[in-house]
Amino acid sequence: MNTADQLILELPLRTAQGRADFLVTGSNADAVAWLDRWPDWPGPAMCIHGPEGCGKSHLLQVWCAQTKAIAIVPAQLTTASVPNLAARGAIALDMADAVVDPEPLLHLYNLLAEHGGFLLLASRKPPIQWGLSLADLRSRVLAAPSVGILPPDDRLFMAVMAKMFADRQVRVGQDVLLFLAARIERSFAAAERAVTRLDHNSLSGQRAITVRSARALLAAN
């Protein structure tokens, strides 16, 4: 068994429809546990928050696949769109802290709550820092469970990169994973960029991916 297989098998997997496997560690376990409780939530809504690249959007996709919800962004949330969205029964709003007009969000919340629906909110900042000006919306959002997602820890970050390489049928040693984990931005997007570049460089040169080649490629960035 190669290093990629070992790292992946060490972590619980959550398969997202049309996406890579979602790996669970201490950095995201609380959020995953709360989503697993659905539909046994204490209210119609819950919030997950964390820095860019921590996996919020991916986790929203996992939840949508499990619940048949649809994922939207603030630009899709308008007064006109609310009735159709609420009729779906479950909505995941990404970048919720970027909502400019709070009225449609309040209307959506109320309609979903009235008909037994659910609203999952994802943001970079915790809800208390959103600066919501609409008192009714603020009270509802702050009453919902709110769970933080941390940047990926070493174990998760290396496992994600191992899987990205494995998906490309590329074998790398743990020394390469350790080298990358210590030197690139701690986000899934940065991991994807690094793996893609290393894979392309390896294919073009018909050579294995080593710490030496990884160091050279990062230095050339």
DSSP secondary structure of 27-69 = TTHHHHHHHHHTT--SSSEEEEE--TTSSHHHHHHHHHHHHT-
Q: What confidence tier does 21 reach under pLDDT thresholds 50, 70, 90?
A: low
Q: How far apart are CA 26 and CA 93, in angstroms?
A: 24
C-alpha to C-alpha distances, 180 to 63, 114, 211, nearest whole angstrom: 30, 49, 9
The mean-pLDDT minimum among 20-24, 53-57, 156-160, 194-198 falls in 20-24
Share of the chain above pLDDT 70, in %: 89
Q: How far apart are CA 123 and CA 96, in angstroms?
A: 5
DSSP 122: E
Kindly report the CATH class assigned to 152-219: mainly alpha
Domain ranges for the chain: 26-148, 152-219
Full-model pTM: 0.74
CATH architecture of 26-148: 3-Layer(aba) Sandwich (3.40)
Average per-residue pLDDT for the chain: 87
Residue 63: name the closest of 96, 22, 26, 104 by CA: 22
The reply to whether 152-219 shares the fold of 26-148 is: no
Tally of CB atoms within 10 A around 16 = 17
